[in-house]
């Protein structure tokens, strides 16, 4: 598809994408056109017959669209060892925004590397050993961004995270108490330094499910309103970028006080809010009422000209895991959470204890959900399937639910699950899905609200159970192309130009003369999420899930091809640090 040079007539371009159907991100109707690139930017869109270029891409039969802009990721640790954010760029993502949920990798004192690593590992489900590959060639937030410039395979922006800022100022006191006036002033100085250095804005989270590996609350959870307000005010001095704040009641559905807080933050800072308002337990337990509560906030934000945007995962939740590694899916059930925190050997011993199994089953059948519970109810027996086995005695169980096997064999579901896993030395791959007709029906309506953004990938996080990088491909395949709810020009706009504009990312998300040449090329007849597989990270050698799409022909970052028919061009480094404007 790539590599051909044209030598006759006309001006010289670095790249010419010829003969595709251009969907430019503006919402205008598709058109057949060529796209020419010089010095990282688009210099012509139209019929460019006879023009010559260093590289020509034949896009006949393909949609040529702006690259996807993913505004909720946790790639800031990974970007130091994986310059391309490889699974995301395979799905056509060209710009990622990290530092969400109050977690950024900077600022960080040199003796706090281990603390930040274990916090990311616990909350965001990252392999702790992967942090051995972080290049700690920075301390301040501006130094972090500067250290990445020229080393990126994707465009990268980052919020400054509240927990990192609080830890930098307060040390261990950051997870023990409220801040003093002097400490708040020091935090303000750090946020100011970050904003001057190019931060996308400020992120924070007060949700009850965020703990570190020592079961201590993450620092941002201890912040009083006056502290958060003071840090939001710093963003207001600049009036650019956005806020990404998840208040306490996010998991169970926003209460009135937190809705007021979000509106107030936006008014104080004068910039948009981007948060995940329809995730976690609230959308699974009662999706209709959960949406009504969020809709009330979003409509209010429109009326009061205080824009609050909610990211919404446009599919039912699903994840895979095995018990040799454990999973965070059971964090809402203390007994199971303790089981997952054990070493594999300890877990085997616990699972073989027949007298204890009744308690494990009861915990799933009657999950306790106090205010401190996790983000979701635990996987149900009928929603948990055996995806892959590793012993002859287990082979017949593949693609069947634990409940189905238990009913057939007249055994307790917990016995079935534990015995299958033990027979495979805990390597059995289980797959959980909370398929829900009620949720799907609500999502059919939710996605069209003007303050809803499709998402979220959580890129770089929770790879022990999932790879959420397929979110945009799923949206295009299912909601746009299969169900036909969106004209393709409107769907592309919602994935590109809109999130770029919300976050203040200039000259991206559009295929127009003067814009940076970030593009995805895909076959609308074939594009799909592909298979999710368990593999070994090519750099850290840790176990993780991958999502490999089909039908995406190329991803182009700043005029340079970084993925060609699914193959990552590993040494390509055309990405830039993006800063709000």
DSSP 548: E
C-alpha 359/C-alpha 192 separation (Å) is 51
Residue 304's alpha-carbon distances to 267, 298, 300, 449, in angstroms, are: 9, 10, 6, 16
Q: Which domain holds residue 163?
A: 76-82+98-317+451-470
Convert the pLDDT of each residue in 116-174 to its tens digit. Answer: 999 888 777 777 788 888 999 999 999 999 999 999 999 999 999 999 999 999 999 99
**CA-CA-CA-CA dihedral for 434, 435, 436, 439, to nearest 10:** 80
Does residue 260 sit in the same domain as residue 161?
A: yes
Does residue 309 sit in the same domain as residue 342?
A: no
Does residue 152 sit in the same domain as residue 289?
A: yes
Place of tokens 């829900």: 436
DSSP 482: I
Convert the pLDDT of each residue in 510-536 to its tens digit. Answer: 999 999 999 999 999 999 998 777 667
Question: If you count DSSP H runs as helices and E runs as strands, how many of each does the chain have, helices first?
Answer: 18, 24
Do the beta carbons of residue 247 and residue 258 sit within 8 Å? yes
Does residue 308 sit in the same domain as residue 354?
A: no
Give this prediction's pTM: 0.90
Is 409 a domain residue?
yes
Model confidence at 373, pLDDT cuts 50, 70, 90, reads very low
Phi-psi label, residue 504: left if phi above 0, alpha if psi -120 to 50, beta otherwise: left
Q: Where are the alpha helices (H) located in 203-304, listed in sequence order? A: 225-238, 256-269, 281-285, 287-303
Burial class (CB in 10 A: 0-12, 13-18, 19+), 413: buried
Is 200 a domain residue?
yes
Is 429 a domain residue?
yes
Q: Region 215-221: what's the mean pLDDT?
A: 92
Does residue 307 sit in the same domain as residue 334?
A: no
Does residue 253 sit in the same domain as residue 105?
A: yes
Is 557 a domain residue?
no
Does residue 134 sit in the same domain as residue 280?
A: yes
C-alpha 146/C-alpha 126 separation (Å) is 24
Is 550 a domain residue?
no
Convert the pLDDT of each residue in 392-408 to its tens digit. Answer: 999 999 999 999 999 99
Q: How many domains does the chain have?
A: 2
Does residue 292 sit in the same domain as residue 362?
A: no
Model confidence at 372, pLDDT cuts 50, 70, 90, reads very low
Does residue 327 sit in the same domain as residue 312?
A: no
Is 338 a domain residue?
yes
Is 20 a domain residue?
no
C-alpha 271/C-alpha 241 separation (Å) is 6
Which long-range contacts link 167-174 to residues 24+ away (Cβ below 8 Å)?
167/108, 167/112, 167/115, 167/116, 167/219, 168/107, 168/108, 168/109, 168/112, 170/219, 174/219, 174/222
Do the beta carbons of residue 320 and residue 431 sit within 8 Å? yes
> In terms of pLDDT, which residue wins out, 369 or 241?
241
Does residue 240 sit in the same domain as residue 226?
A: yes
Share of the chain above pLDDT 70, in %: 93
C-alpha 403/C-alpha 578 separation (Å) is 49
Does residue 217 sit in the same domain as residue 140?
A: yes
Convert the pLDDT of each residue in 256-313 to its tens digit. Answer: 999 999 999 999 999 999 998 887 666 777 889 889 999 999 999 999 999 999 999 9
DSSP 28: P
Does residue 128 sit in the same domain as residue 197?
A: yes
> Where residue 457 sits, what CATH number does that domain have?
3.20.20.140
Is 549 a domain residue?
no
């Amino acid at each position: 598809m790539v590599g051909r040079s044209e030598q006759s007539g006309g001006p010289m371009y670095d790249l010419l994408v010829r003969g595709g159907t251009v969907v430019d991100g503006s919402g205008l109707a598709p058109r057949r056109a060529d796209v020419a690139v010089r010095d990282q930017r688009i210099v012509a869109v139209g019929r460019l017959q006879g023009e010559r270029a260093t590289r020509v891409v034949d896009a006949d039969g393909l949609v040529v669209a702006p690259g996807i802009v993913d505004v909720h990721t946790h790639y800031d640790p990974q970007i130091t060892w994986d310059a391309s954010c490889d699974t995301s760029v395979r799905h056509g993502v060209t710009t990622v925004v990290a530092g969400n949920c109050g977690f950024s990798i900077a600022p960080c004192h040199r003796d706090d590397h281990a603390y930040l690593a274990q916090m990311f590992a616990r909350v965001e489900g990252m392999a702790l050993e992967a942090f051995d590959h972080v290049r700690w060639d920075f301390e301040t937030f501006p130094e972090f961004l500067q250290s990445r410039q020229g080393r990126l395979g994707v465009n990268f922006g980052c919020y400054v995270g509240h927990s990192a800022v609080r830890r930098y100022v307060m040390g261990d006191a950051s997870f023990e108490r409220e801040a003093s006036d002097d400490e708040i002033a020091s935090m303000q100085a750090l946020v100011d330094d970050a904003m001057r250095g190019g931060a996308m804005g400020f992120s924070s989270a007060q949700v009850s499910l965020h703990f570190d590996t020592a079961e201590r609350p993450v620092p941002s959870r201890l912040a009083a309103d006056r502290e958060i307000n003071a840090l939001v005010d710093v963003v207001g001095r600049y009036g650019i970028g956005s806020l990404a704040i998840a208040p306490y009641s996010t998991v169970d559905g926003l209460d009135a006080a937190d809705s007021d807080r979000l509106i107030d933050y936006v008014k104080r800072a004068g910039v948009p809010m981007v948060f995940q308002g329809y995730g976690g337990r609230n959308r699974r337990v009662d999706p209709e009422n959960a949406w009504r509560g969020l809709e009330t906030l979003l409509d209010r934000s429109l009326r009061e000209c205080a824009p609050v945007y909610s990211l919404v995962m446009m599919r039912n939740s699903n994840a895979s895991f095995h018990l040799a590694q454990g999973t965070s899916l059971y964090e809402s059930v203390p007994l199971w959470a303790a089981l997952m925190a054990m070493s594999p050997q300890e877990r085997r011993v616990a699972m073989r204890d027949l007298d204890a199994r009744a308690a494990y089953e009861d915990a799933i059948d009657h999950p306790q959900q106090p205010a401190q519970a996790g983000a979701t109810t635990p996987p149900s027996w009928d929603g948990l399937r055996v995806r892959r086995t590793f012993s002859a005695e287990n082979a017949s169980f593949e693609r069947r639910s634990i409940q189905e096997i238990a009913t057939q064999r007249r055994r307790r579901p917990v016995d079935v699950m534990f015995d299958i896993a033990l027979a495979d030395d805990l390597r059995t791959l289980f797959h959980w899905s909370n398929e829900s007709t009620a949720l799907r029906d609500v999502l059919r309506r939710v996605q069209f609200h003007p303050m809803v953004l499709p998402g979220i990938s959580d890129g770089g996080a929770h790879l022990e159970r999932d790879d959420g990088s397929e979110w945009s491909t799923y949206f295009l395949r299912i909601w746009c192309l299969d169900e036909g709810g969106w004209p393709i020009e409107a769907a592309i706009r919602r994935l590109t130009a809109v999130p770029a504009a919300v976050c203040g990312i200039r000259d991206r998300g559009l295929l127009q003369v003067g814009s940076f040449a970030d593009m995805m090329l895909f076959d609308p007849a074939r594009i799909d999420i592909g298979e999710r597989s368990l593999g070994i990270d090519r750099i850290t050698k840790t176990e993780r899930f991958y999502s490999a799409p089909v039908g995406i022909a190329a991803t182009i970052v700043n005029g340079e091809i970084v993925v060609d028919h699914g193959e990552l061009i590993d040494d390509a480094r055309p990405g830039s640090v993006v800063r709000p404007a």
